[in-house]
Structure 1
Amino acid sequence: MEFYFLGTNAGVPTIQRNVTSIALRLLEERRSMWLFDCGEGTQHEILRSPLKLSRLEKIFITHLHGDHLFGLPGLLSSRAYQGGTAPLTVYGPPGLKQYIELSLGISQSRINYQLHIVEHTGGVLFDDGQFRVESALLDHRIDSFGYRIVEMDKPGKLNQELLERYGIKPGPIYGKLKRGESVEVEGGVILHPQDVLGSPKKGRIITILGDTRPCPNTVVLAQDATVVVHEATFLHELADTAYEYHHSTALQAAEAAKAANAGQLILTHFSSRYKDQEQLEPLLEEAKSIFPNSLLAEQHVLLPVPDIG
Structure 2
Amino acid sequence: MDYSVAASVGDTGSVSEKISVVSGQQLNLVIKPDGPARSVKGYLVFQSAAAKTAVDIPQKSLLAAAVFALPVFAEKTDKAVPVERKLVLQEFEYTDQDGDGIYAANIRVPVVAGEYEVFTVIEYVDPEMGTRQVRMTAVIDPEGYVYELNNGKETRIPRAQVSIYRLNSASGAYELWPAKEYQQQNPQTTGVSGAYSFLVPVGSYYIAVGAPGYETYKGEPFDVAEGSGVHQNIEMHAVGGWLKLFDWKTLVIAIVALLLLYNFYRDRRRSRLAGYNKRTV
TM class, shorter-chain normalised?
under 0.3
Q: Determine which structure has the larger helix proportion and give its number.
A: 1
Greater Rg, structure 1 or structure 2?
2
Higher relative contact order (CA 8 A, sep 6+): 2
Normalising by structure 1, report the TM-score.
0.24
